[in-house]
Structure 1
């Protein structure tokens, strides 16, 4: 994702991948949350839909949260959209995207040394032909929870590792199992197994019988380590027996993965010219959030790195990456740690906790709050005195339009900041035009508009907003301050921006 973002901005990148071949294990099953909004506004969503053989994101009626199923069907515009796209197909689409934009990908090349000096980073690499060295302006460690780059940079990675082993699989439905309309199972010789999570004194079990396939999940404490050994049906069956106490018939495997959970975050995402993104920067103890968070890290960092490399960025722009994305990760850690407490609770106390949370989510406001946390749109930004949208992510809901409104598809295609004029404000357009090729000015009509105008960063952060109630001089002053913050204080010669 990062290599493709940088390539779009005209930055030459080299991607070093330790594995000689892409993994075929579908650890993640798709994209969800704010990354789908970003891809829509970039005009790139169709690429990922085609990669997954999908017509587009779906508003799923319910999603798991700490052993519960949150019901979003009562909300006309659910905060969580899901695009089914198994990880191998996602990685292939991202690799193609990066290559098309000029990035070089070297597989089977492992970073074994880093040294910062004289304005560059010297990188020692072990490849198929032996060791070699190179020098580069910046290094970004996107190398996972056991990040070598993070360790070589000496960045602490604090938090806790959970003792459970998680197993997740989708299998075909055997003849002795009947899928019920509510997602539960009717199993010959066993009886009915309800849809959703079941906490026992030996662990957690969950199942769902939807779309003609059987999905099974277990979590249990185990002392052994599996490394990269592939999971088998026999292993999953034994885990179900230990946790649930029954021999559940399982069909042929369609997708199988085994993993562990941690709640950790790097002390900083930047050490000089070395950066961290994705799992190298943070690990969350719940599923469905890591890919979204990592790809949003990349979108945040890329345009700031590009501006620094091209020479137009203000001096402290790169520091905002660590501050912003660490705050976003704190919000994700908040709700995923809470999910740990919810799903681990066993007996009457655990049942009471889950029942109370489920009762609270019957109301729209707390359900929307949890949905925003799960979607990554609640990024921990302080409330703005200028406008409530400032510091939040651009979403279809923020614009008060339908999901996927074609008028705004590709609005952020160029990777530049965008002044979105929703009230025909030539004064604001003229001011933004002084920053020349670094700002696109786009006019549109929404009735009623959420603001007269919005300044939107390439990563979909809303950097500024003004309404008709904002005094003209105040609007011009605060817009100038926002443009100077993100693009530097010297306005460039005005040029026409594409609409």
Structure 2
């Protein structure tokens, strides 16, 4: 029987991010992946939203930026059949990094292994049980079946999660009847891309953006010169397997059905299909079994799932580590469900709004999209929607009255005796930080009682939001202010009793 601190089931982005974060917190994760080799199915095309800021706060965003060969697109995003254009904003709340999912997973796996995580591919969890002390997984591997025990097990095994099933956690929601097919292709020699983005082919002209017919929707655009991204959306009541490879001819036939004509396709670099679902697990924890990523939520829009799933992992890791190491205050692990179920519900809110926008095919639906597009021409609605899509508007419920408590810590420029630094640099090690911005000896003295768990830093900031900030490892603010007793309460609530 093998033993580990935490078993992570699934070597997708959520599982690999969790493994790395657990190692930063000093915990030994074992990642079990059913597939024998890394996946090369082109599902997600990049990262977007708040996870980009978190990667920067860990000091590794440049590693992901260096791995992409595609230009970073301007902040202009599809939203339920309209366009969310943030290019006019000096500091858009939503950005994107083009990076194919297999490359993203490769980079995440490399980092997890560098930090000391173990990844076993071709090892499938077929049964699990738990008691008050441990969870036991029966695993089928290349050399037979064996058991592994751990303090906790986290299912990061996707929308069809066996772990969620075995834990008996309900997954209510809706499967929408549309089937979406995506192709990334080079421009065919017989196709001309006009200055406005429209396509001209023999006997056919297709406008850039969305073309709606009575048979479905065709969308086309380009982020890279000479390369087109195409998508068809058709009604199909039967459920499809998102992980099943899609042949090129299936895409050709779908385009022919929607447009009523053939569109020549050049060299294909990506093919995938998916069916949207809006589902959320009733609970993200069942005893010693937890869920993260697509196992916990499926969102009916593109460009959202990776952001939400990887942020689940960052929120969970430091709390799980505290439990494993016996230093967690009562109820800390339960805040994972409270906070990330709330975040998942927010993500469902905006993605289901996209469903309502894109599904209307009559005059009323066209009018709704037209009015919505007009609203997005103004800065404040565009900024608010961008923050909602990014997950940047989250304020976790804390009961604290300060408006910044529960939000993601702003990346202040910090002036110290050693030079200039930033909030982002303070969080590279994924440790909590009390940041004293006002030279408050009394606050630093209180935090000294938690010196084994909380780093204390003193600095000055040009635009100081408060006397001091207590920043959690996931970048969210646990406390903001200057009142000593409330700081003591916050330290106890999040990081346990004062050191003996």
Matches within 5 A, 1:419-458: 419-458=434-473
Q: 1:27 aligns with which of 32, 43, 68?
A: 43
Aligned position for 2:166: 152
Aligned position for 1:350: 365
Q: 1:72 aligns with which of 86, 111, 120?
A: 86
Whether the aligned pair in 2 keeps the contact of 1:37 and 1:395 (CA below 8 Å) is no
Whether the aligned pair in 2 keeps the contact of 1:79 and 1:371 (CA below 8 Å) is yes
- Find the aligned partners of 2:145 and 2:352 in 1 and give their Cα distance: 41
Q: Deviations over 1:406-465 (max 9, x none)?
A: 734432122211122333333322222221121122334332223332111111111111
Q: 1:301 aligns with which of 316, 320, 332?
A: 316
- Find the aligned partners of 1:381 and 1:183 in 2 and give their Cα distance: 42
- Find the aligned partners of 1:400 and 1:10 in 2 and give their Cα distance: 29
Number of equivalent positions: 477
* Cα displacement (A) at 1:164: 1.4
Aligned position for 1:469: none
1:42 equivalent in alignment to 2:50: no
**What TM-score comes out, normalization by structure 2 length?**
0.91
Matches within 5 A, 1:68-467: 68-191=82-205, 193-212=206-225, 213-223=227-237, 227=241, 228-379=243-394, 381-382=396-397, 386-396=401-411, 399=412, 407-466=422-481
Counterpart secondary structure, 1:427: helix
Q: Deviations over 1:96-124 (max 9, x none)?
A: 11111221111111111111124111111
Aligned position for 1:480: 488
Whether the aligned pair in 2 keeps the contact of 1:161 and 1:261 (CA below 8 Å) is yes
- Find the aligned partners of 1:383 and 1:78 in 2 and give their Cα distance: 27
* Cα displacement (A) at 1:247: 1.5
**What TM-score comes out, normalization by structure 1 length?**
0.91
Counterpart secondary structure, 1:242: helix
Whether the aligned pair in 2 keeps the contact of 1:67 and 1:198 (CA below 8 Å) is no
- Find the aligned partners of 1:225 and 1:333 in 2 and give their Cα distance: 20
Aligned in 2, Cα 1:138/1:61: closer, same or farther, shift over 3 Å? closer
- Find the aligned partners of 2:240 and 2:175 in 1 and give their Cα distance: 15
* Cα displacement (A) at 1:246: 2.6
Q: 1:492 aligns with which of 463, 477, 499?
A: 499
- Find the aligned partners of 1:463 and 1:6 in 2 and give their Cα distance: 20
Unaligned runs of 5+ in 1: 467-471, 494-499
- Find the aligned partners of 2:254 and 2:383 in 1 and give their Cα distance: 35
Aligned position for 2:9: none
- Find the aligned partners of 1:220 and 1:183 in 2 and give their Cα distance: 23
Unaligned runs of 5+ in 2: 1-16, 415-419
Aligned position for 1:497: none
Q: Deviations over 1:338-384 (max 9, x none)?
A: 10111111121111000111111122222122111110123363486
Q: Deviations over 1:377-413 (max 9, x none)?
A: 23363486532111112344xx489xxx973443212
* Cα displacement (A) at 1:205: 1.5
1:7 equivalent in alignment to 2:15: no
Whether the aligned pair in 2 keeps the contact of 1:327 and 1:379 (CA below 8 Å) is no
Counterpart secondary structure, 1:438: coil
- Find the aligned partners of 1:232 and 1:492 in 2 and give their Cα distance: 60
1:61 equivalent in alignment to 2:75: yes
- Find the aligned partners of 1:408 and 1:462 in 2 and give their Cα distance: 12
Q: What's the C-alpha RMSD, in Å, of the aligned pairs?
A: 2.0
Q: Deviations over 1:124-179 (max 9, x none)?
A: 11111222112211100000011111011000000011111111121000122222
- Find the aligned partners of 1:125 and 1:439 in 2 and give their Cα distance: 38
Counterpart secondary structure, 1:113: strand
Aligned in 2, Cα 1:59/1:484: closer, same or farther, shift over 3 Å? farther
Aligned in 2, Cα 1:59/1:382: closer, same or farther, shift over 3 Å? farther
Whether the aligned pair in 1 keeps the contact of 2:413 and 2:422 (CA below 8 Å) is no
